[in-house]
Structure 1
Amino acid sequence: MSSDTNSENIYNASDVATLLNLKLSTLRKYASVLENAGYKYHKNNKGHRGYFDKDVIALRKLIEIKSSPDMTLVRSANAVMSWVKEMDVSPNDTTDIAPNERYISYDTFKEFQANQEEQIQQVIDLNKELLNRLDLQQEHLDNRLKERDEQLMNAINQTLETKKQIAATQDESKPGFFKKLFLKKK
């Protein structure tokens, strides 16, 4: 962020994106849509936009209008252009975040990092416990399936044995065709 000769603040794209809580690509898109609607930005000799307080306010208004139902980005940009022409936009409410507030101290970062590492370790421990429980559950399920298979095989074997016994008794009680032929001859 720097100042021009009128002592009015001029912001670069990353400062404005931070102020408006937008991604840089979204800011570029919004600025381009406003520009297509007739809004004029300050540009340097390379064509990069510089944002004054009035530009930040206009972008805020675009975001506010765009959030309304049934409002497209182009319609919102046209509404902002009408608003800008009607209103004398003054440079207020653009310094929500002081430049030094965007950065944290080394100690704060180390504390944050330690908290993150602690949380990661807790997640790792939880994952290990869940894996152990899954292994126990799978072992229990395998044992149940093995028991069921054994019971099923026993039932099948008993059924086969019963069928053999029934067939054997039927053979003894009913003489077959050849036995009937030989019994008659006697």
Structure 2
Amino acid sequence: MAQVYFSSEAAKKLGIGGSTIRRYAHTLEEQGYYFERGENNARVFYEKDLLVVKEIISAISKEQLSLNHAVKQVVAKHLQNNLTPSVIGKNHSIEEFYHRIEQLESKQAQLIDITNDLATQIEKHQSWLREKIEDQDEALRDQALLVSLRTIQEEKIKKNKRFSFWHFFFKKSREA
């Protein structure tokens, strides 16, 4: 079973004050992050929730972001990676849920368009590569043909030289 913490325990584990973790959690909830509630409606923190708060602390200290900006950045990252337990908490309306679905469908359509564009670019690149390979094959074929023609020409020249030598020799002996 997963380890659970209430606000004061989670704050001690993270090395921050209880009011600080409650403020972070409240800001997270305003951005759509959902915490389970336990007895007396107290927030329940799981390890994954502690990791999210650690990321916020890190963003505030290292990147010097405000709490709101740090929370927005971390929530956006987790929503994008589907790491939060639910986009819709108990206090969200069905309209917000449908709005989020519309946003996701829009993003999905954008990704499909990008994928189609990439597929078109890949096809164009493959076509260009095929043309280059064909050009290279033609160049190699032409080069081989030239070598073959040179070889034939050199053989004819050698044959003609032999014929010319014997022809010259026999011509001299006939004259004598």
**TM-score using structure 1 length:** 0.46
Rg larger for = 1
Higher relative contact order (CA closer than 8 Å, sequence separation 6+): 2
Query: Which structure: greater helix fraction?
Result: 2
**TM-score using structure 2 length:** 0.48
